[in-house]
Every structure is written in C-alpha cells, then in structure tokens.
Structure 1
Amino acid sequence: MREYFIKTKRIGFSVWAASDLDLATQLWGESEVTKYICSSGTFSGKDISDRLNTELHNNEMYHLQYWPLFELSTGELIGCCGIRPFKSESHSFELGFHLRKKYWGQGYALEAAKSAIDYSFRVLKADKLYAGHHPQNKASEKLITKLGFQLTGTVLYKPTGLYHPFYELVNQ
C-alpha cells in the first residue's frame, strides 16, 4: 500500500522508490507522454531508468521530485507532478507534470498542479515557480496559463533541442 503525503479529492501524491521501475515504465513508456519531452519522442528502457534515477536523486538531494500520482479510488498510477530546484535561484522551483494518456482531459493535471503549487508556496516557502512546455503542446500551454503563470520568454530545452515557452508564477 502506497503512502501519500498530499491528498486531493481524487489524487494521492507519493514518492518514487528504486523499486518503481514498472510504474515508471507505465508512464514514460507511453510515446504519447514522451513525444514532447525528448527529441526522439520516445524513451528507451535506459531513458526510463535514467528518468527514475533522476527523480530518486532529486528526492535524496532536495526532498523534491516529480512525485508519482495515484488515483485514490483505484490505486492506479495517473502520472507524476511536482517540482525540482530551479538551477540559478534559491527558493525557486520548476513545476512539471506528465500524465498517462488515459487520464488526459479529466482535470487531473489541474488538480495535481494546484496542489504542487500550494505545497511549494505554503510548505517550501518558494518565492517563484517556473514552468515550460514544448512549443506544440497546446494542452500544457493552456494549463500553465490557467494556473496563473506569466510568459517570460523562451529557453532552449536540451532534451528536445527546441526553444520552449517559459513562464513564472510569483508567490503573492
């Protein structure tokens, strides 16, 4: 049974563990999920393992990660949502989310992102959050702006080799 450190109406936030490779494969093994987060559009088995290890490392070093999300009613993996340190600023983090395709369009990303934002500002006392998205990912663009993020420009995102729109949300 998974433990949840944040619960919403439908979602439980847990923490990735080294034993979660099967869950990571459920998420990052879906080409619909990865098509906008890497240049090839798909993750190999090594890419999935590396991504899980990145989340484990971020948790070990910073007590942060793109936490795995579970549907409370079924216990099924929805995807992940969370924060990671933003490279150049203390008390600033980058918000991110990846959902399995079967959970798209049902409000799960909005519900999870609102909780991650609240956790960042209320518990971690973040000054700012940042978020970005692939230029062709209109669903992420819509969600990020709906959450109140303001466009600041574009940044080169090395995994895709493209300039991604980049946004910030200031803690008021």
Structure 2
Amino acid sequence: MNKQKGTSGTMLKGLIMQASHTELLEYHLTACGLPWRKLAPGSGAAMLQKAAESLGAPEELLCLVETDEDERIARDGGFFCIGYLNPGRTKERLSGCRILLEGFEEIDRTFLEEVHTRALGLPVTIAETGRLRIREMSLSDLPALNALCRKNGYDGMEEEEAKAYIAYMYGLYQCGMWLVFEKKSGRLIGRCGFGVADYLDFTELDLGYLTDVEYRRQGYAEEACRAVLSYGDQVLQFPQISAYVEEENTASRALLGKLGFSLIQSFRWKGKTMRRYLRRAESREEV
C-alpha cells in the first residue's frame, strides 16, 4: 500500500509562532524544512505582518497563538490560527482556532499541512492503494454520497449536518468516515473509516465501511479497510480499534478475521445479536 498523508503539498508556506515552550516544534520544523518565525506573545499586528513577509501571504500560513488577543489580531489579518493551551494561561479561550494543542511532541509538517488544507476548505487525502483513493468528504461530494447511501439502503446527510461533520470530526478529531473512490473511473464506490460505537455501557472508536453493491465481492472493502487501519496505526496512533457487526453478517465477520480482529464478546442489542471485535495496533514503522 502506498500511503499518502495529506494533500496540501506546497500550499502551506510556513508557520508563525506566538507561543511558549515551542523548542521541540522548532526542532522538528527545521529538520523537515518547513520555514517558521518566532514572535513573543503580544507582539502586535505590525510585527506579525513583518514576520509573514518572508514566508508568504496570510492564507498560505498558519499562526500558532496562546492568547485570545493574538488570535484576534491574526484572524483580522487573514491568518488561519491554531492554539496552544498554555497551562499558565487558563483564562484564554482560543475559540476561533482551527485546532487546540496541549503540547508539541507529535506535531510535524504533515499534521500542520493537513490542518491548513482543511482551513482552506479542501479535503485531505488519507490514503491511496492500487485501485482506490480515500479522502475526506467535501460539501461538493454530498449529492454523490447521498445517492450512494440511498442506493445501498442508508439515510443520506443534510448540508448542515455535513458541514458540522467536516468541521468537528475531520477538523478537531482528525478522523471520521472517509470517501472511497475507484481511481480508474473516479467514481465514488463507498465509505470507510472510524466512528464512535456506543452499543455497550462505554464508547470506543470502531471501524466502519460501506461498499456499493456493484463493487462487492471484488476485494474493495478489504483494500479500503487495510488502508484506513494502517492510517490509524501509523498516523493517528490509535492503540486499538473495535468493530461491531450483526451475528448474521457472515461476510463482515470473515473480513474482520482477515484484518486481524479477534472476537471479544457477543451481546443483545435492540433485539439483535451483535458481536464485538478488537484489533491491536500494528508496528508504527513507516510502510
């Protein structure tokens, strides 16, 4: 599998930091070649614009802030903001930031490019395989997605619901159900990704997928699931993923076995017998 993390490429030209404790982030960005500039919090609009001049236009940059005032100035200047939750500044809300960070240990260029791509309103590509491209949904995909769902016996999605899903699932949690396209035809043939399961007295992330009836029994579901599970292992670093399936769904049960899931328990839910499966994360070495 050839994994593609993000689609922003050279869209993100650099990062301006107006935050504390960024030494580790500075090291990572220097190592990967993403330009950055450091300003003290409270430097003001003039200093912010001057720092941006050598990097690019405001819409080509991200601004890391830790105060509401710096966020306001940056957003007024046309910058996309991400926030650092400085434990010494507990009164700051940072309500307009694209994402809030508690530290910088796992923040790299790929992560920032994906945040920036979403800020531009573009879908991030999650993975590419030999036959498939898997990416986030955009509003322009809604007619095709709803047609796919209705054709296969599922409810569609309203525009406001789709907007909220894109903003919160993709934007805040970096995951969700993604669209699966056949590369050869460009056709939307399914969905695959992660949701939140609440069948029992706890919630957990679970794997979900839908393949168009015309493309079943051709290995597409397994190909898509392997790609998103690898993304969960390598990029999102989920320690484990569950999967829930009705007992009579023998095809899905067989697929989960191929994907390395183990049966944990059976239980009754709304008059049906359900099975809960679990898969531990594989090695996070690059593939």
Greater C-alpha Rg: 2
User: Would you say 1:48 and 2:156 are equivalent positions?
Assistant: yes
**1:130-156 deviation line (CA, Å, top 9, x unaligned):** 011122221111101111100111355
Aligned equivalents of 2:209, 2:135: Cα separation in 1: 14
Residue 273 of structure 2, aligned match among 160, 163, 166: 163
* 1:164 maps to amino acid: M
Q: CA RMSD in A?
A: 2.7
Question: What residue number does 1:4 align with?
Answer: 125
TM-score, normalising length: structure 1: 0.77
Further displaced range: 144-153 or 79-88: 79-88
Unaligned runs of 5+ in 1: 35-42
TM-score, normalising length: structure 2: 0.48
TM-aligned CA deviation for residue 93 of structure 1: 2.6
TM-aligned CA deviation for residue 58 of structure 1: 2.1
Aligned equivalents of 1:5, 1:138: Cα separation in 2: 28
* 2:156 maps to amino acid: I
Aligned equivalents of 2:192, 2:235: Cα separation in 1: 16
Unaligned runs of 5+ in 2: 1-122, 283-287
2:243/2:276 contact within 8 Å kept: yes
Question: What residue number does 1:19 align with?
Answer: 140
Question: What residue number does 1:40 align with?
Answer: none
Q: What is the number of equivalent residue pairs in this alignment?
A: 155
Aligned equivalents of 2:256, 2:135: Cα separation in 1: 22
Bigger relative contact order, structure 1 or 2, given CA contacts below 8 A and separation 6+?
A: 1
> What is the percentage of aligned positions where both structures have the same residue?
27
**1:52-85 deviation line (CA, Å, top 9, x unaligned):** 6374342233121110000111100110111134
Aligned equivalents of 1:127, 1:86: Cα separation in 2: 16
User: Would you say 1:151 and 2:263 are equivalent positions?
Assistant: yes
